[in-house]
Structures are given as structure tokens and as C-alpha cells.
Chains A and B, each alone.
Chain A
Amino acid sequence: MTLVSGWGRFPVVDSELLRPRSFEAVGEAVGTAGAVARGNGRAYGDAAIGASRTVAMTGFDRVRSFDPATGRLRLEAGVLLSDLIDTFGPRGFLPFVVPGTRFVSVGGAIAADVHGKNHHCEGGFGRYVDSILLRTGQGDTIEVSREQNSDAFFATIGGMGLTGVILEATMRLRRVETGWIRERVISASDLDAAMRALDAGDSATYSVAWIDCAARGNDLGRALIYLGEHARTDELVDGADRFPAGKNPGLAVPVDLPSITLNRYSIRAFNELYYRMGARRAGGSHVVSLYPYFFPLDSVGAWNRIYGRRGFLQHQCVLPEAGARDVLADILDRVSKRGDASFLAVLKKLGQGDGILSFPLPGYTLALDFPVKGDILNFLDEIDRLVVAAGGRLYLAKDARQSRATFEAGYPALQRFNAIRKSLDPAGHIRSKLSQRLFDEV
């Protein structure tokens, strides 16, 4: 057995880690009870840890075919988005949807139906997936799409790997002129201003707000809003490469930092500095490389180590648009009073999700990071009650601790999902630690 954990390094559990080299070997690996596929391990909690066996898919990193006329791509599920960007970016193509890190696999991106800064207008990752080759728990290898096995297709988009192992996918890439983003920064002095700015940014392709979660009182919810559009060639400065090179993480956090590193003073100081520096850039628009725009944290390798050995929790909820303002204010107020939320507080708007269990619904999503210590689990349970009361839900790809009650309240389509899952895997071979915690019959 091997100790396995997600990006948040909580929980850490025993699971046999296999690296199959062929699809036949994948089939054998999931042929007995309690296995789930794992991509690049960027799900934060227990989604990509098998109940007893974890099947690593990153060895399947081949592109099968690419049609430059349509941007259509067939590939194996272990290809990373960073690889796609590096390979197809210089040819004028990018994924339609990228999450906050480019180090995720295509299979993982489908399983979590990841969203990007453009979800409010362009939808999630699954919207640009045309078909999926799936190895089901009962041993079939089937192609699923909107036309063929469509129930299995929509259950697999956002299905957290529980419908089977995603082996290959056909997806579409976006044609771009450059690898640069024309960015506009707006500073908002409180939550209402931040939400207004996000609403006004509905017409922008990309929009996201960074929230100073240490700010209190009149400053509560003050934020920097980042709007973005793909830059055209004629918007680049003279001499700029049409497609900038993505640097591998230059600086990596080499060891677990002591948990004292993040305290209310260091977090407050960081947030203050970050807000002031951002506010100074606010107003005009400028052109930035896609890498810092989409993946600000990727430039620091192993940043999850700053939270220390015990790991951290990311709490990401979505709240339906109506009534979201007061609930967000309540959550931010509680967080700012605690003082241990970190510099990663992100607010953005989402649209309708595509998969049966996809996280997004039309409204606002708020993501907060907390080190695992003290009474944090109880505190997050309180926040969950606010989320459930508002008709919201939590993102499974980030989750390590929500209760069944919270999950079931947030995902009313769960029964339909379970029925499809059962039809693909009657014996229940596909199981993750997450499914044991939230889905499986006990």
C-alpha cells in the first residue's frame, strides 16, 4: 500500500497505487472492487484516491489525431492541459476552458467538469468534449457522447470518475491569434462594488475577483476584479513573441513550512500589499501572458507546502444569484473575524453546468483556503449550513470533508446519477474515498 493524498494533502490514506501501461491493464486494475482513476493529483481532497486501489493515468499521454481545420483533437486521458497549451498554443489553439492550474489531466478536467474564468459566458470543460472512451466498472469499453450513450456521457462530465475510467476523449480547441490576454483590473472598495463589477464584466470573456478576506467593516469584501480578452496580434508590443513560452515553476517550496508561517498578521499583511499593488494597476488595460493571467500560482512549485505538514482545505461553494449577496457578506464576515483564511479567496460568476453532477449553477462561487488546524472542521460545517440554506453546493473536486446531508441537499440530481452509475457498474467496482464518504450505500 502507498500513502496517497490530494493537492490539499488532507486526508492522507492508504491505497494501492498502480501505473498501468495499456488499456487492458487499466481494465484489470479496475476489475475488482474499490478502484478509481487518478490524473495529475490536483483534486484537493479524496476524489482521486481509490477505496482500495488508485489507477494512475498520466502514462497515457498521447495525442491520437488533430485536425487544424476544426481544432478537433482526440487524445488519451492522461495528457496534461499544460502539455496541450505548450504543444498547440504555438499553432494557434488553446483549450476553451482552463482551471486555475494548467497541471491537470484531460481525464481529470472532464471528471470534475472544471470551470475557468469564462464559465459565465462559455460554460465548463465538458461543453467542449464531444465524446469519451470509457472503461466501465462492469468491464465494457464504450464510446459515450451527446448522441450515443448520452446518459453515461452526461454522468461522466463532472461524475468524479465514478462512471468508469476515462481512457480517451475527443475535444475541441479554440483558435487564438496570440498567447496573450488583454487584461483590465478594476478595484472595488467593498463587496457590493465587487459584485457590481463582476456583473458589469458579464460581457467579458474572462472575469474573476480576488477578495481581500482579511478586510473587515466598511472594507468587507474589497476586491480586485480581473477582466480578460484574448489579445489580437496587433495589440502586442513590437517584438513580442506571438506565443510566450510557459516557464516551468522556477521556485518551488522545498519543504513543509511550519504552520506558524500563515497567521492572521502575515495573511493580513499579504492581503493589504496585494490589494494596494493591484489597485495601482486598476483602470487601464494592458496585455499579459496567458500564464500569469490564468495560472498565477503555477509559477510557484509545490505551493501546497506553505500550509505545513497537516495540509489545507479549500472550501468552494456556489450560491444561486438571488440572495447571494447577503450570504457572501455573512461568510466573509465570519472568515475575516477568524483571521486564518489565506490569500486565495476568489469570487466569480458561474453559468449553468453541463453534466448531471457538474458543480456550476448560475450564481457566484467563492473559494477559500484554510490550514487544517484547530476547530476548522466545525467552522466549515457552519458555513455549509449557510450554503445549503441559500440553495448552494460545494465543489467535489475541492472537497475533503462535507457531510452527506450537505452533499445531498446541494445535488438534487444525485438519484439520477446513481441510477446511471449503477447501470454501468452493477457490482460497484469503481469506488473512491470520496464516493465512500458521500455516495455509496453503507
Chain B
Amino acid sequence: MTSRKTVLVLGGSSDIGRAAARAFAKAGYDVGLAGRDAAALEPDAADLHARYNIEVSTLKFDVLDTASFDSFVGGLPALPDVVISIVGLLGVQDQAESDLAHATTIMRSNYEGPSLILGLFAEKFLARGNGTIVGVSSVAGDRGRSSNYIYGSAKAGFSAFLSGLRGRASRGGVHVVTVKPGFVRTKMTEGMKLIGPLTVEAPVVGDAILQAVEKKTDVVYVSGKWRLVMFIIKALPEAVFKKLKF
């Protein structure tokens, strides 16, 4: 064990997860990478160790397997200083409109699983009296749009959970950060038409997460432009909004 601070990244194989892990490793944190396939995280673990000479561990974590959460948290060799949830599933809106199993997976991957696991960490952090919890939600949760409301509604639920948790946890010395990245060029968005000026690369999100943790920011729109865009979208009267096809 070292005296360095530790961060646990849930969803460590995603592009944003890798970027966040690099940002924290560069800042001197020891890193835990958790994902469905722990072996697949080994190359990234080796990368972080080679670059920054820190300790890295890999862990198996499945966000849909909520029954395993208690033993996952209980089995950690040490409680981290920071836990970040990047897990999520964009899914296919068209399919999810009629395929209930797919819709359920989207909802559970983006709301149920991330909320339950972060809630569990919150209890442990509150008992310890410190810690930082980061949930990567989405601007899609700010208002349900006709083209991706199943994903969006799950992210809305996650954002609401984080918001409430933040209030409660803040009284016990635990900080909660909500991150809304906007468009990010990643595996998840490959092939999607992204609007250039509103799109960032994954490392920008990783750096923004580190900064939010260090500065104790509450809600982060990675690009300030998104705060404005979503302010306008949220302000549209429903009569107008429902006619929009995006």
C-alpha cells in the first residue's frame, strides 16, 4: 500500500473511463479499473503503471448484477478516496421503443445500476466522513427528446439521484459531482453525426472530471456551450418542444 490517494473507475474500459483514469493517474492517484471483463482492462492498467509509476488494479464489475454490489464493495482491499461511475449504455432508441428487454437494459444500465452502486459507496464514505463520488450522466437527461428519451429518461433519473445524494452527503463531508459531457468522440458515438463545435475528445472529459473533484464542483457541463444549449432547450414551451424531431 502507498500513501497516495486512490480512485476507482467503474466503466474503466470506456473511452471516457480510460481518459479519467489517465488524468487521475497523472495527478498521482493510484487507480482501480473496474469493468465487466477484468482481463480486458489489463493493457490499460499496464499503460497507467508504465506512464505514471502508480499502483493499478483491475476488478470485475457488472452494473446489471446489482446482487453482487454488496460483496463488490465489501471485497475491495481498501475504500477509495474517489469513485467515478462512467458505466452506461446508449442502446438503440428505435429498438427500445418496442423491445422491452432492450429498454429495460438501457434503463438499468444508466439509472438503476449506477445509482445503487454509488449509493452504496456514499454510505461507506459517510461512515468514514470523507470521499468524492462522481456520476457521469448526460445532457440527454436534462429534457426527454423524441429521438432518445429512453436513454435520456434513465440519465434524468440518475441526475436526480445524484442531486439528492449531493445534498444529503454534503452534510457528512462527502462530495458528489454530476458530469454532463455533451457530445464526446468515443466508441459509443462512432458513426453518429456530432456537431463539431459542441463535440470534445475524451481526454477533455477526463481532465474536467479531475478538476471537478479537486475544486469540489457540483455539476459540470464539460463544454460551457452545452450549459447554454440545454438552458434554451429546457426553456422551450412543451407545445413547441414536442414538435421538434431531434
Whether a CB of chain A sits under 8 angstroms from the CB of B218 is no
Q: Do A87 and B51 touch (CB < 8 A)?
A: yes
Q: Are A65 and B46 in contact (CB under 8 A)?
A: yes
A19 interfacial contact with B, CB 8 Å:
yes
Q: Which residues of B contact A73 (CB under 8 A)?
A: 50
Give 1 or 0 for each of B31-68: 1 = CB within 8 Å of chain A CB: 00000000000011011001111000000000000000
Interface contacts (Cβ under 8 Å), in number, total 25
Q: Which residues of A contact B46 (CB under 8 A)?
A: 62-65
Residues in A whose Cβ lies below 8 Å from that of B50: 63-66, 73
Cβ-closest chain B residue relative to A65: B50
Q: Which residues of B contact A88 (CB under 8 A)?
A: 51
- Taking a contact as CB atoms under 8 Å apart, the answer to whether B44 and A62 are in contact is yes
User: A residues 239-297 with Cβ under 8 Å of B?
Assistant: none
CB nearest neighbor in A for B47: A62
Q: Which of B182-210 contact A (CB under 8 A)?
A: 187, 190
- A62 B190 Cβ-Cβ under 8 A: no
A21 within 8 A of B: yes
Main secondary structure of the interface of A (DSSP, over half): mixed
| A91 in contact (CB, < 8 A) | yes
Chain B residues near A19: list those with CB within 8 A.
190
Interface residues of B, CB < 8 Å — how many?
Answer: 11
Contacts of B44 in A (CB 8 A): 62
Q: How far is the CA of A73 from the CA of B26 in the complex (A)?
A: 18
A176 shortest CB reach to chain B, Å: 17
Q: Which of B26, B47, B52, B190 contacts A64 (CB 8 A)?
A: B47
1/0 contact string of A1-25 vs chain B (CB within 8 Å): 0000000000000000001010000
Q: How far is the CB of B200 from chain A (nearest CB, A)?
A: 13
Cβ contact within 8 Å between B187 and A66? no
| Complex-state Cα separation, A19 to B44, whole angstroms | 19
- Name the distance in Å between A223's Cβ and chain B's nearest Cβ: 39
Chain B proximity of A336: nearest CB distance (Å): 40
Task: Report the separation of the CA atoms of residues A109 and B26 in the bound assembly, to the nearest whole angstrom.
Answer: 25
A residues 50-87 in Cβ contact with B at 8 Å: 62-66, 68, 73, 87
Q: Nearest residue in B to A64 (C-beta to C-beta)?
A: B46
A66–B54 Cα distance when bound, in Å, is 12
Q: Do the beta carbons of A63 and B51 come within 8 Å of each other?
A: yes
Q: How far is the CA of A73 from the CA of B46 in the complex (A)?
A: 12
> Would you give the shortest CB distance from A25 to chain B, in whole angstroms?
12
Taking a contact as CB atoms under 8 Å apart, the answer to whether B187 and A62 are in contact is no
Which residue among B26, B51, B52, B190 has the maximum number of chain A CB atoms within 10 Å of its CB? B51
Chain A residues positioned under 8 Å from B43 (CB to CB): 62, 64
For A65, the chain B residues whose CB sits under 8 A away are 46, 50
Contact B187 A21 (CB under 8 A): yes
How far does the alpha carbon of A73 sit from the alpha carbon of B51 in the complex, in Å? 10
Cα of A21 to Cα of B51 in the assembled complex, Å: 21
Q: How far is the CA of A87 from the CA of B22 in the complex (A)?
A: 10
Shortest distance from the beta carbon of A348 to any chain B beta carbon, whole Å: 32
**Closest 3 A/B residue pairs (Cβ):** A62-B47, A66-B50, A63-B50
25 pairs from A and B in contact (CB 8 Å cutoff):
A19-B190, A21-B187, A62-B43, A62-B44, A62-B46, A62-B47, A63-B46, A63-B47, A63-B50, A63-B51, A64-B43, A64-B46, A64-B47, A64-B50, A65-B46, A65-B50, A66-B50, A66-B51, A68-B53, A73-B50, A87-B26, A87-B51, A87-B52, A88-B51, A91-B53
Residues of B within 8 A of A (CB): 26, 43-44, 46-47, 50-53, 187, 190
Tell me the A residues contacting B by CB distance below 8 Å: 19, 21, 62-66, 68, 73, 87-88, 91
Known: A63-B46, A63-B47. 20 other contacts (CB 8 A): A19-B190, A21-B187, A62-B43, A62-B44, A62-B46, A62-B47, A63-B50, A63-B51, A64-B43, A64-B46, A64-B47, A64-B50, A65-B46, A65-B50, A66-B50, A66-B51, A68-B53, A87-B26, A87-B52, A88-B51
